[in-house]
Amino acid sequence: MYKMNNMKISKFSSAFIVLLLLVSLVGVNFLAIKYHKRWDLTHSKRFTLSQKTREVLSELKTPVKITAFIAEGSNTGSDIKNLLKEYGFASSKIRVYFYDPEKEPSIAKKYNIQEYNTIIVEDVNHRRVISQYNLYSPGKNPYSMDFNGEQAVTKAILDLNRQNQAHIYFLKGHGEASIISDLDTFNSYLKGEGYITDQLELSVEGKIPSDADLIVVAGPQRDLVLRERELLENYIKKGGKLLIFLGPTDSHVSMIEWKKLLNSIGLKVHDDIVADPQRSFYSDPLTPVPLVENHDVTQSLLDKKLTVIFPYSRSLEPVAKLPGNLQVRSLLITSNEAFGETDFTKNRVSKGNNDIHGPLHLAYAVSKAAAGKKQDVPLVPNTITAPDSETGEPIAVVVGDVAFLGQQTLGLAGNLDFAAGSVTWLLQSPNLLSIPAKSEEPPFVNLTGNMVQAIFYSTVVGLPLIIIVAGFIIWMRRRNL
């Protein structure tokens, strides 16, 4: 009888414990759903939303949908997923969805997704597209990458309700690079930054749209007609901005009107292709790696200690007498050993008597001098340490290269930073968010020669020797049993 009572008590106790565990499990899950809490253990707090982002989310009036197209299992995809989950946890107005474009091709096609790590931020009326180039940028050392995900996503959420975004037009009709194929990566980046981009064919439109904040000219291969040049010059006089990327052209094609346009803003372009044997990318002299001068355009490059890689460039220089109150500042300069090859009939690039001797300038910023500071003679540039005394209104950035904007080269070194810095300076776009990038770098140690030898002898020699000796001792002991 006593034994049976003990068995009943034991069964009751077991049932009570099971019931208690089930109630505890349900309670914990309920609390986890209602009161979300996560711990960011990364050194840079990579996935912790800033106070500014939380303020933006708290002021949302309408629902926002965030859709991310990422590859499952990728490191970058995990970064994006962890970040976007925080947005969903931080606000009931945010709905986050993740798709793999290969597994969900119909959804990817609906949003016209061309690459992984693309994020779509949308509400009922507007949509913003964030590309992977808006999310990542080179860090301050070769081992790190800056993750700009929070700034990009929060900015896109803010831009949904803004109607005053800058409108950028890409000129076409003269053999320029296309924003659909050649410059699609750069175009995606600009859209991700909140700019509105479009194409402009002057010969068809007959005028420059009134909402054109910036006109981009990317590698023209044919000349302007007189009326087109006059339209662009009048556009500049009325406060318009130009971003001109030049590249080598057919020597038999006249580019007189383009050169006249450049002369009107104080610059002239040489009919050459730049070779720099001293500073070049993987010893290819036709791919210069110029030195970076001090200017607002290049501030990001200087801060991160980056340079640019410029394949197939042309050189520029100021005119002898600058028109009006214009001033120019050099942005990129080659080494003294560089030269501008002017003879395109040769099979091999080599420095000749008729070539242009270095150092050569590959990019200039043009602006109106501040009132009372007229400048007739351009400053002699001094690389790296030149003080940026430039004040006044930005007018143009002229670059002697367009190939660096291509899909294969835009992501190299600081190429994207330079292009983005040019746009930001021309449009005077302030960073209203002030959300710093999260930098992540792999841990590394510096080993001395003695340390390397110690590691080698201990692992390659010592450890195997210990195993051999131990095996021999065991063998001897078993033999004597």
Question: pLDDT in tens for each of the 481 residues of the chain?
Answer: 555 555 555 666 677 777 778 887 877 776 666 666 666 666 666 668 888 888 888 888 899 999 999 987 777 788 889 899 999 988 999 999 999 988 888 999 998 888 889 999 999 888 888 988 888 877 666 666 778 888 889 988 988 877 667 899 999 999 999 998 889 889 988 988 888 899 999 999 999 999 999 999 999 999 999 999 999 999 999 999 999 999 998 888 889 999 999 999 999 999 999 999 999 998 899 999 999 999 999 998 998 889 999 999 999 999 988 888 899 999 999 999 999 998 877 777 788 888 899 899 999 999 988 765 555 444 444 444 344 445 579 999 999 999 999 988 998 889 999 999 999 999 987 655 566 666 666 555 656 667 778 888 888 888 888 888 888 888 888 777 6
Do the beta carbons of residue 152 and residue 190 sit within 8 Å? no
What do you get for the CA distance between the two ends of the chain, in Å? 58
Question: Pairing between strand 136-138 and 393-399?
Answer: unpaired
- Reduce the DSSP state of residue 69 to 3 states and report it: strand
Looking at domain 167-428, its CATH class is alpha beta
Can you tell me the distance from the alpha carbon of 231 to that of 244, in angstroms, rounded to the nearest whole number? 15
Do the beta carbons of residue 116 and residue 71 sit within 8 Å? yes
| From the candidate CATH numbers 3.40.50.300, 3.50.50.60, 3.40.30.10, 3.30.70.260, the one assigned to the domain spanning 51-136 | 3.40.30.10
Give the pLDDT score at 434.
60
Question: Which is nearest to 335 in space by CA: 355, 318, 358?
Answer: 358
Q: How far is CA 169 from CA 173, 201, 352, in A?
A: 13, 9, 40
**Amino acid, res. 402:** V
Can you tell me the distance from the alpha carbon of 454 to that of 56, in angstroms, rounded to the nearest whole number? 55
